[in-house]
Chains A and B, each alone.
Chain A
């Protein structure tokens, strides 16, 4: 079904796949509008490509005579730029100078800048259009007496604008029987792909208020703020252990052996380094091996911390951190050189030479992938020295509330979120019988369990593939 027809899908095929929405211009003129019906609200900075805010735009505007060949509508585009013949006598300075041209030009609209033919001198701007041959202009640089027939160049510095949300007003003159198109930027299109998998938190809140709150229901009235609070808290809790909300960053470990904790970080899932084949090798937390002390006060000869002129303890450099950064991890792990082993290469010669000589290893520290610690004081992950200049993959979880786009819940867990909100509200309301609270507590628990099972993505084919190993002979 290509056209939305009352279901949950509200974008056309073109809007979803191509990120484009077009409109046929039936009547010529300036100031026409096109209203965006994308699910994603448009972001507008400027339509002037020379303005830095142009980079803020989440979309571009195109025009076309036939809906096949499209041209971006910028201040230099054909539609927003036109030429006219300058009056032979020139035009003096003035805020309401009348310019009469010989050949009618319907493309001239108020706001256009009047320039010389090469665009190097700006004479002023058009303030109003009397007719297709007569314009009232604000001339700030006198137009010299020119030989009749020399062209002036006019362009709209801002050929279009979004004056109110999602409504684009085209300042330029558009001819009849042409097309105008909103084209989303590729990153915006990508963000929208797969969005049907989710329900936005705003929809959850609205749906909850409609379906669960009202006269004759368990919750006769509730402040919307309470629903927002519990919905966001629910999303946070679900993010930690139920949702597939793992984020990841690929980073390079610098000479200081540290990377900064991401802005939306809540907890890590895994840190790993990648080898030449792109295979991940898990890096383990140093845990009991070392730590990053939160402070290292300088002490006097009696061991008492000393203070600076502001009465605060003077901080020194951590000797533990320095020692850890400078150590050879192989002295702890007894490992082979990490470089010798890649995911699909096993250099048997190395193993064979040491066969039977490696008894008594501490299993907890017998690994070759390196260690990391979390330095809470500086907000960094710190790594052991063999990971210097390695590519690190940091997988972590956020809380689903960091950015607007995060505030959505997989449809598999939507019902669990409703159950969470209703339980949270009845549990904190006065005069609700305890058995009702318990009922919703159980409902929340059951629905959350269902959501976890659904989101764990256990597929029959994968189980079969794993179970094929059962018939393998163990020698």
Chain B
């Protein structure tokens, strides 16, 4: 769920051209798009606070608190806080810095095909092929006549002698089907760039299959492992883009110890900390721990807590990128290296209006600014009435 960056850019250009107001370059669009997106994102929290104080209509699609929460939920995250030197001081979930541009980490080729056994029948784990096949790899599953159970390739010698995971009785000259596994490991890209499992866990991941964005519902990512629910099409090159998440706001914090129920950690300020630590009734315990938040670090009390801290936090939306290649002196949209607006699709209209407003400033046209501003004001008024 996102707002397509190309749709927004083309709409903005269309309106500008229709009004004969001039042209907005991709660089200008990316900067103003980033600004507009953040501006809309910032309004969510004040609006939510305002709406929480107003009785809401308990009906589908009309509860403004629920609607706002739906928009905010796109940026809600959970992560483990990392203890500094096994102390009660914790860093926020790993925020890895670096360019916001994509890391292209190419996985192995997912493929499927057929192999044919040679003139010898087998009753062991060894399978000789009639001809060598460079596509077969360890981990692939094999199915066909004679194969019983879940059988995978455990070893390949000279692209022709295949070792199976269990002994099978297979007749001579039998045609078998091999299929790539549904699980892939993110490896280094061509430029030698790598990511760690922790970095991937704390990033937004996009997967392209030969340039086409794979739906996020078709796979899950855990650490460096990608598990597909739907087998990618034959001979597609998988490109994994990893965009680091940027911390924005701290939400609730939890402490988990073994199999005991998780406990929420209460945030306290420095002025009340010392009173609480010396109070006999309210001093923090492992059942009711507290923390102070300073310099992007949590200090948890009681000090015996040195692990098991999980945080819910809000991340910033990633900056939109309308990237291009140049062809015949024209900008051609490149989806592989572009990145959509992360806002809820319901924000598309306001987003375009805000970019148009900034476009009016960029091209120094007060009329555009006025029209856009008036439209935005009208929309806000409707939302908060």
Contacts and interface: CB of A to CB of B under 8 A. Distances in A.
Interface of A: 35-37, 41, 162-167, 202, 205, 215-216, 223-225, 228-229, 232-233, 401
B55 A36 contact: no
B268 interface: yes
Contacts of B268: 223, 225
B357 interface: no
Contacts of B65: 215
B266 A224 contact: yes
Nearest to B265: A224
Contact of A35 (B53, B257, B259, B282): B259
A165 B281 contact: no
B264 A167 contact: no
Contact of A166 (B258, B279, B290): B258
B260 interface: yes
B290 A225 contact: yes
A205 B261 CA distance: 15
Given A216-B55, A223-B266, A225-B276, A166 B259 contact: yes
Interface string B265-277: 0101000100010
Given A167-B258, A202-B287, A215 B52 contact: yes
A108 B282 CA distance: 49
Nearest to A223: B266
B129 to A, nearest CB: 33
Contacts of A216: 52, 55
B147 to A, nearest CB: 26
Q: Helix, strand, loop or mixed for chain B's interface?
A: loop
Given A164-B259, A202-B287, A228 B281 contact: yes
A377 B56 CA distance: 63
The residue in B52, B281, B290 that gathers the most chain A C-beta atoms within 10 A of its C-beta is B281
B260 A166 contact: yes
Given A224-B288, A225-B266, A165 B276 contact: no
Contacts of B52: 215-216
Interface residues of B, number: 19
A109 B290 CA distance: 41
A164 B287 contact: no
Given A164-B257, A166-B259, A225-B276, A232 B281 contact: yes
Contacts of A202: 287-288
The residue in B52, B65, B258, B288 that gathers the most chain A C-beta atoms within 10 A of its C-beta is B258
A36 B259 contact: yes
A275 to B, nearest CB: 41
B31 to A, nearest CB: 37
Given A165-B258, A224-B288, A401 B281 contact: yes
A200 to B, nearest CB: 10
A6 B156 CA distance: 52
Given A202-B288, A229-B279, 19 more contacts: A37-B259, A163-B258, A164-B257, A164-B259, A165-B257, A165-B258, A165-B260, A167-B259, A215-B65, A216-B55, A223-B268, A224-B264, A224-B266, A224-B288, A228-B281, A228-B288, A229-B282, A233-B281, A401-B281
The residue in A162, A223, A229 that gathers the most chain B C-beta atoms within 10 A of its C-beta is A223
Contacts of B259: 35-37, 164-167
Contacts of B257: 164-165
15 contacts: A35-B259, A36-B259, A37-B259, A41-B260, A166-B260, A202-B287, A202-B288, A205-B288, A224-B264, A224-B266, A225-B272, A225-B290, A228-B281, A229-B279, A229-B281
A343 B367 CA distance: 105
Nearest to A37: B259
Contacts of B281: 228-229, 232-233, 401
A228 B259 CA distance: 24
Contacts of B290: 225
A18 to B, nearest CB: 20
Contacts of B288: 202, 205, 224-225, 228
